[in-house]
Amino acid sequence: MTEARPIRSIVIAGGGTAGWMAAAAFARRFERHPISITVVESSAIGIVGVGEATVPGIRDFFRNIGTTATEVMQATNGTAKLGIEFVDWRHDGHRFFHPFGLYGAPSRGVQFHQYWLKMRAAGRETPLSDYCLCTALAQDNLFMPPPEAPQSDLGVFDWAVQFEAAAFARFLAARAKAGGVTHIDAKIEGVELESESGNIAALKLGDGRRIEGDLFIDCTGFRALLIGQTLGASYLDWSHILPCDRAVAMPCARSGPLTPYTRSTALRAGWQWHIPLQSRVGNGYVYSSRHISDDEAAATLRGRLEGEALDEPRLVRFTTGKRSQVWVRNCIALGLASGFIEPLESTSITLIQTGIERLIDFFPDRNFDPALSAEYNRIATQEYERIRDFLLFHYWGNGRHGEPLWDAVRAQELPEDLQRKIDLWRSRGRFVRYLWESFADPSWLSMYVGLGLIPEQYDPMADFFSADDLDSAFAKMREAVAKAKALAMPHERFIAENCRSQIRGE
Ligand SMILES: Cc1cc2nc3c(=O)[nH]c(=O)nc-3n(C[C@H](O)[C@H](O)[C@H](O)COP(=O)(O)OP(=O)(O)OC[C@H]3O[C@@H](n4cnc5c(N)ncnc54)[C@H](O)[C@@H]3O)c2cc1C
Q: What does the pLDDT look like over 415-459, one tens digit per residue?
A: 999 999 999 999 999 999 999 999 999 999 999 999 999 999 999
pLDDT, residue 266, reads: 98
pLDDT, residue 506, reads: 37
> How large is the average pLDDT for residues 496-503?
82
Residue 344 pLDDT exceeds 60: yes
DSSP conformation letters of 138-195: HHTTEE-PPPSS-SSGGG-B--EEE--HHHHHHHHHHHHHHTT-EEEE--EEEEEE-T
| Residue in 160, 191, 167, 163 with CA at minimum distance from that of residue 20 | 167
pLDDT, residue 503, reads: 60
For ligand 1, the distance from its centroid to the CA atom of residue 95, given in whole angstroms, is 31
Which residue's CA is the closest to the ligand 1 atom numbered 5?
51
Q: What is the pLDDT of residues 90-122, one digit of tens each?
A: 999 999 999 999 999 999 999 999 999 999 999
Interatomic CA distance for residues 492 and 346, integer angstroms: 22
Nearest ligand 1 atom, CA 347:
11
> How large is the average pLDDT for residues 479-485?
95
Residue 103 sits at the vertex; the CA angle it makes with 464 and 139, to the nearest 5 degrees, is 140
Structural contact between residues 477 and 154, judged by C-beta atoms closer than 8 angstroms: yes
For ligand 1, pick from 220, 261, 332, 356 the residue to mutate: most ligand atoms within 8 Å of CB. 220
> How large is the average pLDDT for residues 184-207?
97
Instruction: Report the share of the chain in percent with pLDDT over 70.
Output: 99
Q: Is 339 in the pocket of ligand 1 (CB under 6 A)?
A: no
pLDDT, residue 347, reads: 97
Interatomic CA distance for residues 335 and 220, integer angstroms: 8
Q: Is 219 in the pocket of ligand 1 (CB under 6 A)?
A: yes
Q: Is 316 in the pocket of ligand 1 (CB under 6 A)?
A: yes
> How large is the average pLDDT for residues 480-497?
96
pLDDT, residue 505, reads: 40
Nearest ligand 1 atom, CA 187:
42
> How large is the average pLDDT for residues 467-472?
97
> How large is the average pLDDT for residues 311-326?
97
Residue 366 pLDDT exceeds 60: yes
> How large is the average pLDDT for residues 255-267?
96
| pLDDT tier at 131, thresholds 50, 70, 90 | very high
Q: Is 19 in the pocket of ligand 1 (CB under 6 A)?
A: yes
pLDDT, residue 151, reads: 82
Nearest ligand 1 atom, CA 162:
8
Global model pTM greater than 0.75: yes
For ligand 1, the distance from its centroid to the CA atom of residue 245, given in whole angstroms, is 16
Structural contact between residues 133 and 155, judged by C-beta atoms closer than 8 angstroms: yes
Which residue's CA is the closest to the ligand 1 atom numbered 17?
51
Residue 221 pLDDT exceeds 90: yes
Which residue's CA is the closest to the ligand 1 atom numbered 31?
16
Could you confirm whether 81 is annotated as catalytic? yes
Q: Is 282 in the pocket of ligand 1 (CB under 6 A)?
A: no
pLDDT, residue 149, reads: 85
